[in-house]
Chains A and B, each alone.
Chain A
Amino acid sequence: MAQYTDRALTEEEMERYSRQMIVPGMGKDAQLRLINSKVLIIGAGGLGCPAAQYIAGAGVGTIGIVDGDVVEISNLHRQVGHSTTRVGMMKVDSLITHLKGLNPLPSYIPHLTHLTPHNAADIISQYDLVLDCTDNPATRYLISDVCVLLEKPLVSAASVQASGQLTVLNCPPVPQGITSILGVTHPLPPCYRCCFPKPPPPSAMTTCGEAGIVGTVVGMMGIAQAGEAIKILAKGHHRADILNDPPHEPTFPPSLLIYSYDLEKGPSSATFRSVRMAGRRKTCFACGDNSPQNLTLEGIQKGTPNYDQFCSLPSAKVTLPMEDRISASTYKDILAGTQSEPEQKILQGILIDTREKEHFSFGAIPGAINVPFGKLLTAAAIAKREKQNGQEGREISKETYERLSSVLPREILDQEEDKKDKESEPPIFVVCRRGHDSQEAVEKLREMGLDRGGKRKIVDIIGGMKAWKEEIDPSFPFI
């Protein structure tokens, strides 16, 4: 760990940092602490870009950046550390290029990988403080757990659509398993799991790629994150020995900052709201009384806990066998009645498009019915509940039908009377944005009994509307 060393500032440092150094509360010591600090920014996206700019500008001496993605043009409205000319470049390299232009003095350390249970401790141990700028709950729990074990303060922010949240965790750090300190009456600093013990169900999770994000909202949160990090480092809070020198009041009273911005409302309607959170939980899995039995660095590296399973990441989602899937071009032939093997002819049926209505509003395959994925999962949940309440069998009961029809279009639920006894019914096709949700949707529709015990085919279109654009209609307005 880099120790604080007293020295004179160089002429360049004097000039470069002069405006922030003369702010009340800063001064030479604070600036030297920043220069001697090592900060890790995990995620070089909408939070990481603005955060990194201010961390670098303020003169933090060592800045590590972790990300395994490349720059895409859809990132640029919010990820302001990249540029149009660097589309396709690794985000970490692109951001460091930008930061070097802003301030060449810090050392920049690229980590060209996603953070994983395998590499997390290795990477995080090289730094004094961590900024969680990631975009998924599994990585958020992983980062927090490793920060607890390595005793690193964590500044965590998140943002989706037009909302943002920010919280300072683990600061000053207290060793794992200690939930009370003699002479300290205020709550000890919480970890991420103390605040959010359980992740939301996957159906309630929204990502920026699917739900969208306002650039200024995520930017605001990233900058606020940098502000908290600079405060902690400049004042040396990350090194405070709370065990042997307990403060009378919490340095960072546990709190959560909530920012809401409303596109539908007039000017000045955006609000910041700071709420009081509880401190370290005695029962916390990661830092509570019995936590050393649950959580160790060795365990994490070997796969315990299983973060993907804990959060049921999309990567762990349903994968349909190939016979339950068709390509975009096959679907086009079905629509046009030009199937190559007429004896295996698939009937035209119903096409369900599970994208959000905003995506759907830019265009869809003719005849497609929009049932956003969330709604479909809701319907599945209703059907499942009804089934548990004693409605056995694959066929839908009348009561379930009524409940489902408040969520699903009747075209999907109805079966035409004259077709009831026929061998096969018109199939249901499911298409989504890129071919992931559609596979799960197929499975859910079957669970709901809509395959009529196998008489009705339910298949998905491989690669979703993205494939439709690539294979069939290059002019399709895919978003």
Chain B
Amino acid sequence: MTADVLVECAHITCAYDSTVAVHDAHVTLYRGDFVGIVGPSGSGKTTLLKAILGAVTPVEGHVTKKPGLRMGYVPQVESVDWNFPVTVLEVVAMTRTTGRFFPRITQDERDGAIDVLTRLGLGGLENRHIRELSGGQQQRVFVARALFHRPELLVLDEPTSGVDVRTRHEVLHLLADLHDEGMSIVLTTHDLNGLAAHLPRLVCMNTHVIADGSPLDVLNSDVLERTYGAPMEVLIHGGMPVVLDQGNTEVVRRLGGLA
């Protein structure tokens, strides 16, 4: 591993019982990367993330990490129990478990958490219950929790899943700001036009890795059809690829919506 490599997944295969979720995937994450992993549901995107995090052990191949690598993980907000009795501050501070044996949040922790929250535009909301926040604020709380560790690599699972357009913009801008500050980021997404096309590097996968490169290199009809198993058309608009689902286009045409 060179000095700039943070994580190397060397031809890994991951399986749940007898179902193979990831097959022979080789992905290397470098310092300063901003990588999107795209693919259909069940394509192994989240499993690959979990292998990177160390939550899933490959049955073949191996994952090598830079020694002492600090990672922050942001799960899908759809999996969060919003009725759970925790305040914003409690969510951010709960990750610091090492050497913390008491319920009380120390002044240092409080100051650190408020710093992170303020940076993410959540200043003054630390004592709110998590359900009382907007969609964008809720997503930011979980990014704040991940950042509280001062990670080198931020790992996000579907950060724009189930959020509205405004929240998606907020999340994208936040991640771009963090990347500009030197954070390495890897995320999964279903959102090809709203998120993936804006990233510097994409990994297209459907159990195995189909393509790995810039959006202009990998977002083409051939790769997308192999990834999603459905015909897709790609237009270049303002220097950026725009993916059109031909199946949808056909339906709209049949319904008289397109000339």
- Whether A and B are associated in the same complex: the answer reads no
Q: Which residues of B does A touch, CB under 8 Å?
A: none
